[in-house]
Structure 1
Amino acid sequence: MPYDSRTKLEPNVYLSNTLGTRIGVNCRINEHVFIQQAIIEDEVLIAPHVAILSTSHQHQRTDISIVNQGDTKPQPPTIRKGAWLGRNVVIMPGVEVGEGAIVGAGAVVTKDVKAFTVVGGVPAKLIKTRKQ
């Protein structure tokens, strides 16, 4: 991660796996954000209490506890240039948030978000397209 004085990380940002995590220039990552592993491009805004996940728990078997089944293979999400993740957003493994997209507060993003769109809800759905 190259140093950029315009990139701001507020207190209590937790980077779970820095190996493979990239944070671009001129990003704002607010307090209490959890990043398991991700590719975050330039000029991204991340509000407080966001979780960006790259793995989940295996749960296919019923004969052993979920805690003993291990994790899924890492699939780091990608947050494209100029995107904005609102407060309490959850980004699931492997998801791509497109350039200039806005994810509304409290949304759970389980599928890719197209560039310059606004999504919200659980699971996140298209609200509108931003005019370019």
Structure 2
Amino acid sequence: MYQKLIWGVYYGIFYNLPHSRFVPFTRALRVWYVSKVLKLMPYSKNSFLEYNVYLSNGKNVEIGADCQINENVFIQGAKIGNNVLIAPNVAILSNSHNHNNIEIPIRNQGESDPNPPIIEDDVWLGRNVVVMPGVVIGKGSIIGAGAVVTKSVVPYSVMGGVPAKLIKMRK
């Protein structure tokens, strides 16, 4: 009951607070609530959490220190490292629909078990990126706008496209 209440407060109030461009202190309020009440991230004045950030029920969500998460981000589940930048409209998925039996409608086959992706430290996910379940995005990588990450990414890679492919190495 208590868990439902604290999540209800997040989605009923903090999730919907205005963008910090209009009301600057709302970013700090969201960071405070997500760190101190939901306990999904350490508290830091350098963290950045905008409006409309979906965090599922928090069971498979862990966010590191000093992360910047912009508006309209969907995090179904993930382990996110420190100093990660997440641009607007990113989707980070941890499970999918089962679809192996063609005799049963997909919607009746249930969902796969959660397999949260791991986003290591100092990663930048560009606008509209989709991260699929189970992938690991290595430290210091950049994922270009609109990319769909279907396979794990080695550290310090610059990736782009659908599906995401290596563009160059940062080192």
Equivalent residue, structure 2, for 1:28? 68
Structure 1 unmatched runs, 5+:
none
Equivalent residue, structure 2, for 1:79? 119
Runs of 4+ in structure 1 off by over 2 angstroms are: none
| Alpha-carbon shift at residue 65 of structure 1 (Å) | 1.1
Normalized per residue, the structure richer in strand is 1
TM-score by length of 1: 0.96
What CA distance in whole angstroms lies between the structure 1 residues aligned with 2:109 and 2:118? 26
Equivalent residue, structure 2, for 1:127? 167
> Root-mean-square deviation (CA), in Å?
0.8
Equivalent residue, structure 2, for 1:100? 140
| Alpha-carbon shift at residue 4 of structure 1 (Å) | 1.9
What CA distance in whole angstroms lies between the structure 2 residues aligned with 1:60 and 1:54? 18
Report Cα offsets for 1:26-53 as digits up to 9, x if no partner.
0000000000000001000000000000
Sequence identity percentage = 61
| Alpha-carbon shift at residue 5 of structure 1 (Å) | 2.1
Structure 2 unmatched runs, 5+:
1-40
Q: Which has the higher contact order (CA 8 A, sep 6+)?
A: 1
Tell me which of 43, 50, 53 is aligned to 1:10.
Answer: 50
Equivalent residue, structure 1, for 2:149? 109
- What letter corresponds to residue 102 of structure 1 in structure 2? I
Normalized per residue, the structure richer in helix is 2
What SS does the aligned partner of 1:14 have? Answer: coil
TM-score by length of 2: 0.75
